[in-house]
Amino acid sequence: MLEKIIQLDKQLFVFLNGLGSEQYDGLWLFITKQFYWAPIFLYVFYLLYKKVGWKHLLLILVSIAVMITFTDQFTNLIKNSVQRLRPCNDLEIKDMIRIVKSSSSFSYFSGHAGNSMASTVFVFLILRKYYKYAFLLFLFPLIFAYSRIYLGLHFPGDILSGYLFGIIAGFGFSKLYDIFRRKHFPESI
Residue extents of the structural domains in the chain: 32-188
Q: Where are the alpha helices (DSSP H) in 19-151?
A: 25-31, 38-82, 111-127, 139-151
Q: Kindly report the pTM of this predicted structure.
A: 0.91
Supply the pLDDT for residue 188.
58
For residue 2, pLDDT beyond 80: yes
- Residue 189, pLDDT above cutoff 80: no
Alpha-carbon torsion, ordered 44, 46, 49, 51, to 10 deg: -70
pLDDT of residue 32: 93
In angstroms, rounded to a whole number, what is the distance separating the alpha carbons of residues 18 and 12?
10
